[in-house]
Amino acid sequence: MNLKKFHIIILLLAAVLPELYSQTKVYATGGPEIIFSLAEIDNNGQTGGNILRFAPVLNIQAFGNVDFGKHIGLIFGGAIRNVGFIYEYSDPGDGVITTIKKKYRNYDFGIPLGIKLGVMNKWLLYGGYEIEFPFHYKEKTFIEGTKMDYKITDWFSARTPSYYHSVFVGMQLPYGFSLKFKYYFTEYFNQDYFDGASNSYPYQNLKSNIWYFSLNFSIFRNNRIMYKEYEENRRKSKKDGFY
């Protein structure tokens, strides 16, 4: 790079950065999430058997927002999320086919990082990456529709991986309502887990990757800025004689 080109780049940065900085807004948002989850299941070569799982609680998200003007921004934050799936299959043990249904659930702590494009605080598209750390596991069993008395609950369980990798995309509509799709690249179970009580590997060859759709409320809507803009527009309209 010659000196002339270097000077041109410096002049362009000097002209653009102050304007970009003056338009940058940093603020926090957050809200609940209602999750509808399914899973891709391969149990020793057998697929299917997945049932839609509805998880309205406890899913809370908090985000830091950095808006570079009106049309692009970054997001980061933290979340507590209820993630799992329901699996029903037939067990031909002892020559009698038995229908077994399993309900699996983890509470995860997630750290998302992403980008948003559109009209900030109104409608926009967003997407990114999230790592989640499971901290409480629960498993319930139903045989022929009857809930068994025993269930498995465990803090920081070895039944699942230490963390999950996932990606998400979504669309926020006006008034803070948004739709999101998320896919977990990491399998739900630790297939190498050995259960001493049953002397077995209960999740061996049980491959499952969760994906879900969710309804989100006000997760990227900056109410303080929106209220300020509303008041400014109201005062301007009143001054111009529209009130």
pLDDT digits over 167-196, tens only? 999 998 877 789 999 999 999 999 999 998
Could you list the beta-strand ranges (E) of the chain: 24-43, 46-47, 50-51, 53-55, 60-68, 72-91, 98-118, 124-143, 146-155, 164-172, 177-184, 206-217
Condensed to tens digits (0 to 9), the pLDDT of residues 82-135 reads 999 999 988 777 767 789 999 999 999 999 999 999 887 778 899 999 999 999
Q: Does residue 152 carry a pLDDT above 80?
A: yes
Residue 47 lies in a domain: yes
Residue 4 lies in a domain: no
Residue 218 lies in a domain: yes
d(CA 116, CA 124): 7
Residue 7 lies in a domain: no
Confidence grade of residue 223 (pLDDT, cut at 50, 70, 90): low
Q: Which domain holds residue 133?
A: 24-239
Confidence grade of residue 24 (pLDDT, cut at 50, 70, 90): confident
Residue 18 lies in a domain: no
> Which of 54, 172, 193, 76 shows the shortest CA–CA distance to 124?
172
Higher pLDDT, residue 162 or 48: 162
Q: Please tell me which of 71-75, 116-120, 138-142 the model is most confident about, judged by mean pLDDT.
A: 138-142
Residue 105 lies in a domain: yes
Residue 231 lies in a domain: yes
Residue 206 lies in a domain: yes
Split into its structural domains, the chain has a count of: 1
